[in-house]
Structure 1
Amino acid sequence: MSFRNPKYTRSVSQEGSFNSSKSSISSSINSNSSIFGQLPRGLKGENVEWKKAKECYICQKKFNHTTRRRHHCRFCGNSICEEHGIKRRTKDEQKRLRICDNCDRELIRNEIQSEIEGEISRLQTEVQNARELNEKLYKDHYEKTSRVGQLEMELSKAERSQKQKEQLLQDRLNDEQIKAEKTRKAIEDIRNELDNAGKSETDMNQKCAEAEAQLESLKGEAENLRNRKNDLETQIMTLTSKLKESYPLDHVRPIVCDRCLNKLNQVYRPMLSNGQVAIESTNDSKQSVNNSQVLNPDN
């Protein structure tokens, strides 16, 4: 049977362009599939071994016991810091577990890939159906020509829709990364403020303790000075009383030996030079030896 109808010729041409479009989509899909990296072991359902690294495998910052503690991604087992492990995801229908930024991006990419593959599978099925319909054009090409054009339109629409979905997901990923960075900076600022407040409180407590210790020391010194003053006043009163009752020096000198006389002179000479002791004159001379030979009662 020979078909010379122009409509059939046009439908065959449309089938060729449809197959060309399908080949272009397949090659584009195969090339895009290479952008998706290998999934971590934990994302494939395999057992995860926790690695005990000394630094975050994303930012390479070393861990410590205060501001940057070590955590582990429950999906790949790598050691991560708090900034790159703030996200949570559900694994094997369990509770939400910690996931690193890299695994989270791989999951998002995997979701995108699954959606793309599902859409591709659907489109491939439609393309296959279109091919089968084109084969039936030998019998009824007039009815199926419009269907081919419709499928081409749907395919083009699906491509545009898929690109829009990819762009939306990429924008969402960028927004999440920006939010994570802002959250990390806010946490860092709060930690710095808390550290500064703790240092100020420690300094004030130390200064208060030093002031209290100095105050107690000054109180003790003041008490010692009062006690010493009282002792000195008592000694002065005692010495004054004894000096008032002492025997005149001129009466003692004639009756003592030379050795005792030297001792008396050594004892009373400083007192005479300071004007604290006065010696009364003898009854024979009636002259003043020194106005300071007797202790002044007022002192």
Structure 2
Amino acid sequence: IKMSQPVDESSTFEQEFKAFMEFHGPQLVAMGFPDDLNRKLFVKLKAKSYDAGENLQMVVDEGDERMYLRTLIDAKANKDVFLVDHAWTFKQRTAYKTLKENDKLVERLENMLKFQKKLDLEGENPYSKKKPTLAEYLKQCEESTEPVKIYDLDEYEIDDLKKISFRDEVEEVSLWSNKIHNPNDVTQVLMKLPNLKACWLNDNPVQTNCSNFNVIGDHFDKLEIFNSNLTCKAGEWAMLFYARDQGVTSVEEIESLDLSGKNLLMVDDLSFFKKMTKLKTLNISDNVDMYKPKEMLMKEAQERAQ
């Protein structure tokens, strides 16, 4: 009879913790996570101890429409770590549609939030505002006595940009989820806008019809954001765009910035980072050029920031 050897649980735990740190250690160091909390973080992740709701509370101040974090315990900085069960990341425009198409997500949210009855997702979205027709929206923009710097033209089934008339002062044009397929129309129409700084053509046929679609934005004089990516001309305007939720008016005031997956390493001049003297948190993950080694890209980024 072959006797099984007793399992050394402490040894197994240490091996798993070592593997965890080898994989996630650099990320934790980069975000400034306290070293003495690494083991506690691993223990809670392993046990799926999502305890943030037991110790923290989100408070909405309807006066200034902001949310604040309130502790329910006597918490001290860098003395503990609490986990949030990250269930769902979504864009507001597609949230309702995503819920209707994902039964498992709906069931999970019902269980997490302890709904007394099933979510009713049939019929129209009760939270959506009545959307004007394309003609009505364009007429409002044309007749406005105030400068119109933003055109929100998402989901209007636009297939020909030449039919759209823009005002010269426009800085942002959002064309998500339309039927635009001709790259020549994109350049001919949008390049005429002298102040255009951001344009979104996500979820349009032109993305697949045009072989060099990703570099179209680099040919515009002032365009800094194209299809959720930074162009080679990106500068302070783009940084302020991604920091709008902080209510800042200059890059010197920016305290945190999420530029993950924004093509940052393709920006020609990164010297604007020198002005960000209050910057505490910067996320530049997932900024990769498949044609260049990471070391070369980081060296180029450092040189352009000098």
Alignment TM class, shorter chain as reference: under 0.3
Structure 1 length normalisation: TM-score? 0.18
Higher-helix-fraction structure: 1
Larger Rg: 1
Structure 2 length normalisation: TM-score? 0.18
Which of the pair has the greater relative contact order for Cα pairs under 8 Å at 6+ separation?
1
